[in-house]
Amino acid sequence: MDWDVIAKAIAKAEKERPTMDIHSKEGAKVTFAYPDNGRDYEQLQAEELLIAGEQYTVKKVYVGQSSSHVEFEEVEGLFNTVLFKNNQEESINE
């Protein structure tokens, strides 16, 4: 396995389709932008409870070793962070 090739592919994908910052603060707004990201069961859960293209308010982010999940003010449940992108007007460093 060529880890350099894998790292470059990940960097390219992140640049083309940036997912939400796992350090997003409570109150930050994110958009359900990537319904095809994540595991099948995560996609199904998100499809049932969220609307693609809609904005949601971060309540809390849970950072794991291989994946991270976000909880929202508007809907119950935990969702894989790779399904979302930060909104342009949000400042990650605030």
pTM of the model: 0.82
- Would residue 75 count as lying in a domain? yes
In a domain, 9, yes or no: no
Q: Residue 5 falls within a domain, yes or no?
A: no
Cβ pair 34, 43 in contact under 8 A: no
Number of domains in the chain: 1
pLDDT digits (tens, 9 = 90+) for 14-32: 788 899 999 999 999 999 9
- In-domain check, residue 34: yes
Q: Which of 74, 23, 18 is nearest to 50 (CA)?
A: 74
The amino acid at 12 = K
**Is residue 63 one of the residues assigned to a domain?**
yes
Q: Rounded distance, CA 21 to CA 88, Å?
A: 12
Instruction: Tell me the residue range of the domain where 23 lies.
Output: 19-86
In this predicted model, what pLDDT tens digit does every residue of 33-87 receive, in sequence order?
999 999 999 999 999 999 999 999 999 999 999 899 999 999 999 999 999 999 9
Residue 35 counted as domain residue: yes
